[in-house]
Each structure stands twice: as C-alpha cells, then as structure tokens.
Amino acid sequence: KFKMNAILLSAGFGSRLMPITKKIPKCMVKIGDEYLIDIWIEKLFKANIKKILINTHYLSEIVKEHIEANSFYKNNKIILKYEKELLGTAGTLIKNSNFFDNKDGMLLHADNFTTDDLKGFIKFHKRNIDSYSFSMMSFKTENPEKSGILKVNNNNLLTNFYEKDNRDFGNEANSATYILSNRMIKSIAKSKVKDFSSEVIPNYLNKIKVYKSKSFFIDIGDIRSLNKARNIVNKYNGK
C-alpha cells in the first residue's frame, strides 16, 4: 500500500481577502458549509494520506483551537507547526523534511480550492515514480497572467514554466499541488531556497511529470475567486 504524508501550507496573511481575514486566517474562510482547511483535511484522509502537517503563522491560535476542538482530528494524524517568521513554501518543506518518514510526500496549499479528489493524481504519481523526480497537478485557468503557466510535452513532462507572465503561453497552470519523491525531498532539503515556484521548479525542468486535472480548481486569492468557489459548491450541493 502506497503510504504518504502531506504538508498543507496554511500560514499566509490573506491580505487580498480583507476585511474577511481581519479576524480569521485565510484557511478558515468558509466555502459552502465547511471551512477551507477542513475541506482539504477531509480530502487528504479520503485519499489515504496518513499524517498531515499544517504550518501556521497569522492568527495561528484560531487554527490551533479549531483543530484541537475537532474530535476526529485528535488521533495525532494532524501536527501543527507554528512559524514565528514565515519560511516560504520551500522553506517549510526543508524545515520539516523529516516529517515525510523517508517516503514520498505531498505539498499543497490550504488557500486553494478544487473539486478534484486527488486520488487520480496519486495513482499518476505511482505510475511515474521510477523515472521522475516529482509530480505536479495542473488545471486550465481563466487568468493565465495570474498563474504559473506550464509548457508540457507529449510525455507529460514539464519543459518550461512561465510565472505570472503577460505573454500568451496557453492556459495550463500550476496548481501548486505536488507529490515529491523521497529522493527529491532529500535533494531540496540540502538547499537554502525559500520559494517553491521560483526557486525549485526551474531547476527540475524535464524531470517533472504533469497530471492534468479536469476538475474545477481556483486559488482563493481575492473576494472574486472566493465567491466563484462558493457558487460552484452551492451548485454542486443543489443550493
């Protein structure tokens, strides 16, 4: 059985979601009847993830209280790590590289929302694990200029990456959802990088396999995207 742990990045300020995030962190925003963080935790456990590490920073006490108040979360499957200073997306991975227990691991962001259940992505990674360093989930974006756009060849290999570029490179976007091989985690852990998109991905072109998700995916970056996610969930729930 393919066992894996996941780091769910949840430390951001959510400044573009003000005033909603004045009193709650971005991961505690509600989509439908559920908090964003719970949607991800539920999804990860259903996809057979064994343990989840959640990093916190802004209004960390609210996240802590929420997790500790949930009896389903009490069985040590969730570990909270407070970051006094933000370490960055790659920095958090490096600092907690031992959390993956010498196995492949998932790295993802709590401020995204998707209807994808991650199971197909995990199967895709398992099939490709021998030859490639890590797997990345992509999605079709309506706002290419706000996303990391991918150039992918016929073998699903990432050959180029354009971060928030105004030129037209298509609409296949990086969802910032990754499964890293154990070898890759160890390799990144030796470096001193902070940001995953700008400092890790460019070093591994032609070594990243891209899983093209057909599901709805959105970065909850501002009020507009939050409302869009809420509308999708309401439609899904027949409201």
- Please determine, for residue 103, whether its predicted confidence score (pLDDT) is greater than 70: yes
First-to-last alpha carbon distance for the chain, in angstroms, is: 38
> What pLDDT sits at residue 163?
77
Q: How far lies 38's CA from each of 8, 138, 203, in Å?
A: 11, 22, 33
Percent of the chain with pLDDT over 90: 61
Among the residues of the chain, which ranges form H helices? 36-46, 60-69, 89-95, 119-128, 182-189, 196-199, 223-236
Q: Cα 114–161–102 angle (5° rounding)? A: 65
Q: Name the more confident of 105 and 238.
A: 105
Quote the pTM value: 0.93
Name the residue among 51, 188, 207, 42 with its Cα closest to residue 136: 207
> What pLDDT sits at residue 20?
82
> What pLDDT sits at residue 237?
67
When mean pLDDT is compared across 52-61, 75-84, 203-212, the lowest value belongs to 75-84
> What pLDDT sits at residue 1?
62
d(CA 76, CA 80): 10
165-191 pLDDT, tens digit each: 677 788 889 999 999 999 999 999 998
Using DSSP's 3-state secondary structure scheme, residue 200 falls into coil
> What pLDDT sits at residue 63?
92
- Please determine, for residue 200, whether its predicted confidence score (pLDDT) is greater than 80: yes
- Please determine, for residue 112, whether its predicted confidence score (pLDDT) is greater than 90: yes
